Structure 1
Amino acid sequence: MRLSLAVEKPSQGSFWPSILVASFACFGGILYGYDTGSISGIIAMDHFKKVFATTTNAVGDPVLTSGQTSLIVSILSAGTTIGSFSMSFVGEIFGRRINLIIGCAVFALGVALQVAASAIPLFAVGRFFAGLGLGFISAVVPLYQSEAAPKWIRGSIVSGYQWAITIGLLIASIANNGTKDRDNTSAYRIPLAIQFAWGLILAGGMAILPESPRYFVKKGKLEEARKSLGRLSHLPADHEFVSEQLLEIRANYEYELSFGSTGFLHCFTNEGRQLYRLLVVMSVQALQQLSGINFIFYYGTDFFQKSGITNPFIINLITNIVNVVMTPPGMYAVERIGRRKLLLVGAIGMCTSQFIVAIVGVSVNSVVSNKVLIAFVCLYISFFASTWGPVAWVVTGETFSLRTRSKSVALCTMSNWIWNFGIGYATPYMVDSGPGNANLGPKVFFIWGTCCFIAVLTVYFFVYETKGLSLEDVDELYEKVPSARHSASFVPSHSLTEEAKAAEGVVDAEKMKSVQIEHV
């Protein structure tokens, strides 16, 4: 298939190794998506309720209380919050690859505990450890992808992480639909055990893939960085093009170091507008969750069931198919249209769809109203899948300076998981009926729609356009352009790289102005 993107491809070496390496890291999204999707169906399975529920309804059927459902679903996000936050401290110690492998191992431990559990306490502990591993993975994958992918397709590749999440959700929905009618523990244990395969594939692949060259530069291992760049470009390590790439990364990092040493608190300073970048990206991650998407994928089956819709498992499967199908258009458009426009269009579309769902949901329950509700839920998912789903991760991975990138990405991922936890914990109490519950039902979409309106304002005033820029160019963008509304017209100067090349004697002064360097 021919790729037709807006930014010119490199003229030297091959771009395929770096694309394949960065794309394989997307597999981390399978773990995240599958876990999210599987629990939605598992808590609605009759045999799961028979084993884990401690109360019954009026006709004697076992039911999970709002508190039990809330604990089972949200405890994973508590683990991911801690896991992603820990990456802000230990992320630079082992490197991107090893941290992903560690995350897979911790995730596998959590899955094993869930499969073995026959009561909620052990099951919740397993969910927590699985979340801890997912926190490691979700904080490192966008970082590794951004640093390994070429700039002209970086946005599409990082968007692939979200596509992998949607594929994981779909596979989980298929697995749940295939086992839900079993009258023994295999009904839920089979979907849970399948997760071992995803962790094994990701860990095995990362064991043989190259480390991020930017990580090696930051650790002062320049020869290792050169070898890594050579593998990613399919060129000898001593090739001139590899040397130019290494010089650019090194020059930008040394320029950043000229401002002083880097610590955790540097993420919160105004040097290079680090605090501004951090707050904006944390807001984007928070608003991605407040769009309400995980309400559908955590509680969708249960929500459709309580809304009077027949075959809720099938409807949940349909929403997952929509999610998978509509993500690739966003992956393509992110390098054609840009980050800002996609986020704006997506927020407006989601806001409109959600208010319609809420209005229909509070009307008289009928076959027609249920069909309209399903249609606009699918439209809402379409807008999310093609915009906020993938683009939020693109913005997260490419916004920060090299010396703060690992810490800042970890903090922003933590923001995502904190809101994920809050929504996962609060939603049963917001939606369910009965004592102590708000009984909002479909009216909860008024809340999600309002949050999407806030997202429109946030993107318009604060999110910068980074389409077509190298990770090093992004620093210059924030230094020279004071307003996000004017960021799309920015043209980088490349002066740091030219100075470094002159100092190294790579090119003479007369030729310096004509040299054009293709960034990684």
Structure 2
Amino acid sequence: MAAGFSTASAKGVDFEAKITPIVIISSIMAATGGLMFGYEVGVSGGVTAMPEFLKKFFPVVYGRVEVGVDKNNYYCKYDNQGLQIFTSSLYLAGLTATFFASYTTRTLGRRPTMLIAGVFYIIGVVLNAAAQDLAMLITGRILLGCGVGFANQAVPLFLSEIAPTRIRGGLNILFQLNVTIGILFANLVNYGTAKIKGEWGWRLSLGLAGIPALLLTVGALLVTETPNSLVERGRLNEGKAVLRQIRGTVNVEPEFADLLEASRLAKEVKHPFRNLLQRRNRPHLLIAIALQVIQPLLYLEFRFLLFDYMILMP
């Protein structure tokens, strides 16, 4: 059993708990980590279509797109290794950072991991917005990926652990909701900044990513640590006190006992990644992998169909 999960959650047990303001505020502030990820997903596509951005960092692509002989032929105009590195470096860095984030989430707690995510992201935003060459741009993009990796590891876990069982799904979906809001916000920003002449357009698009990063960083400083994390690290009295605070009741003994049991079971798992390959876990693993593979394929198919429609329009 994964650390931080409640045994009662799997059984559908509801403990006595009020929906306290501290839970709602903490969940909203933590869920801004989804805004960070969503904004980066949405902003890169718009920025790489801006002529001034291409002219500065990818002049070969700029030449194909802006001064190409056949402007109606879009095939392979954006085929450039540097541009591919710019786009993919965030995701590769995020994937790598997730493994380190799992360690900090477990040993340091959820709050410090979210704080690390915010710091990484802010530094990456500064480097991207002030970039003068491709190396500076890629370095900033890698740091953004590290921030996304740490946030994606800690934020959903934080939301799951701080929420009462009966509204856990509703609060946990805030992260995914903010991802989509971030994508929408990025596209709206790109729509406006694309009309700005000179370099200020793309710099503003990349720089505005600092807003959700600041919100997450400030939130990580203000929110309370989850009782699951405190119990996990042996701080039992502090964990019980926090549980009383966020549940708004003194009757937390049943839930606290459940947290102790979940922590004990989690510590008994010696090889969590090896356990994923066991026969009883294979259907769940295959479904999880299939979802991640099918979704982008469907998205790409939709984009190709839309692209073909735009080209074939009279």
Q: What's the TM-score once normalised by structure 2's chain length?
A: 0.82
Aligned partners of 1:268 and 1:278 also within 8 Å: no
Aligned partners of 2:29 and 2:215 also within 8 Å: no
Aligned to 2:72: none
Aligned partners of 1:100 and 1:206 also within 8 Å: yes
Aligned to 1:366: 313
Cα offset, 1:249, TM superposition: 1.2
Aligned partners of 1:27 and 1:202 also within 8 Å: yes
What is the rounded CA distance, in whole Å, between the counterparts of 1:151 and 1:170 in structure 2?
A: 30
Cα offset, 1:171, TM superposition: 0.8
Aligned to 1:150: 164
Matched, 1:57 2:4: no
Cα offset, 1:284, TM superposition: 5.3
Aligned partners of 2:38 and 2:183 also within 8 Å: yes
User: Aligned with 1:211: secondary structure?
Assistant: coil
Cα offset, 1:246, TM superposition: 0.8
Cα offset, 1:90, TM superposition: 3.0
What is the rounded CA distance, in whole Å, between the counterparts of 2:173 and 2:300 in structure 1?
A: 18
Aligned to 2:36: 31
CA displacement 1:17-61 (0-9 Å, x = unmatched): 334323332110100001111111000112112212222238725
AA matched with 1:57 = R
CA displacement 1:221-274 (0-9 Å, x = unmatched): 111111211221123xxx2x22222112113333555xx4x44x2332379988
What is the rounded CA distance, in whole Å, between the counterparts of 2:228 and 2:113 in structure 1?
A: 15
What is the rounded CA distance, in whole Å, between the counterparts of 2:227 and 2:44 in structure 1?
A: 37
What is the rounded CA distance, in whole Å, between the counterparts of 1:228 and 1:286 in structure 2?
A: 36
Matched, 1:214 2:228: yes
What is the rounded CA distance, in whole Å, between the counterparts of 1:197 and 1:97 in structure 2?
A: 19
Does the C-alpha gap of structure 1 residues 256 and 104 become closer, same or farther in structure 2, counting only changes over 3 Å? closer
User: Aligned with 1:220: secondary structure?
Assistant: coil
Aligned partners of 2:125 and 2:207 also within 8 Å: yes
AA matched with 1:67 = Q
Aligned partners of 1:100 and 1:137 also within 8 Å: yes
What is the rounded CA distance, in whole Å, between the counterparts of 2:195 and 2:305 in structure 1?
A: 19
For structure 1, the 5+ residue unaligned runs are: 1-6, 311-364, 368-520
Matched, 1:131 2:136: no
Aligned to 1:372: none
Matched, 1:69 2:83: yes
Cα offset, 1:176, TM superposition: 0.6
AA matched with 1:130 = L
CA displacement 1:189-247 (0-9 Å, x = unmatched): 00111111211111101211111111111111111111211221123xxx2x2222211
AA matched with 2:313 = S
For structure 2, the 5+ residue unaligned runs are: 1-11, 70-76
Does the C-alpha gap of structure 1 residues 278 and 147 become closer, same or farther in structure 2, counting only changes over 3 Å? farther
What is the rounded CA distance, in whole Å, between the counterparts of 2:68 and 2:98 in structure 1?
A: 39
Aligned partners of 1:53 and 1:64 also within 8 Å: no
Aligned partners of 1:31 and 1:199 also within 8 Å: yes
CA displacement 1:465-506 (0-9 Å, x = unmatched): xxxxxxxxxxxxxxxxxxxxxxxxxxxxxxxxxxxxxxxxxx
AA matched with 2:50 = M
Aligned partners of 1:75 and 1:128 also within 8 Å: yes
User: Aligned with 2:225: secondary structure?
Assistant: coil
User: Aligned with 1:153: secondary structure?
Assistant: helix
AA matched with 2:147 = G
Aligned to 1:99: 113
Matched, 1:251 2:265: no
Aligned partners of 1:35 and 1:195 also within 8 Å: yes
What is the rounded CA distance, in whole Å, between the counterparts of 2:266 and 2:277 in structure 1?
A: 10
Alignment of 1:267-416 (within 5 A): 267-269=273-275, 276=282, 279-280=285-286, 282-283=288-289, 286-287=292-293, 289-293=295-299, 307=308, 309=310, 365-366=312-313
What is the rounded CA distance, in whole Å, between the counterparts of 2:66 and 2:260 in structure 1?
A: 69
AA matched with 1:140 = A
Q: What's the TM-score once normalised by structure 1's chain length?
A: 0.51
AA matched with 2:100 = S
Aligned to 1:113: 127
Does the C-alpha gap of structure 1 residues 215 and 131 become closer, same or farther in structure 2, counting only changes over 3 Å? same
Aligned to 2:73: none
Aligned partners of 1:113 and 1:122 also within 8 Å: yes
Matched, 1:17 2:17: no
Aligned to 2:187: 173
Does the C-alpha gap of structure 1 residues 181 and 290 become closer, same or farther in structure 2, counting only changes over 3 Å? closer
The number of residue pairs the alignment matches comes to 294
Does the C-alpha gap of structure 1 residues 255 and 44 become closer, same or farther in structure 2, counting only changes over 3 Å? closer
What is the rounded CA distance, in whole Å, between the counterparts of 1:95 and 1:154 in structure 2?
A: 20
User: Aligned with 2:310: secondary structure?
Assistant: coil
Does the C-alpha gap of structure 1 residues 220 and 48 become closer, same or farther in structure 2, counting only changes over 3 Å? same
Cα offset, 1:292, TM superposition: 4.0
Higher relative contact order (CA closer than 8 Å, sequence separation 6+): 2
Please tell me the root mean square deviation across aligned C-alpha atoms, in Å. Answer: 3.1
What is the rounded CA distance, in whole Å, between the counterparts of 2:276 and 2:143 in structure 1?
A: 36
Aligned to 1:41: 46
Does the C-alpha gap of structure 1 residues 98 and 289 become closer, same or farther in structure 2, counting only changes over 3 Å? farther
Aligned partners of 1:180 and 1:187 also within 8 Å: yes
Aligned partners of 1:179 and 1:188 also within 8 Å: yes
Aligned partners of 2:94 and 2:147 also within 8 Å: yes
Alignment of 1:452-467 (within 5 A): none
Aligned to 2:3: none
What is the rounded CA distance, in whole Å, between the counterparts of 2:139 and 2:300 in structure 1?
A: 21
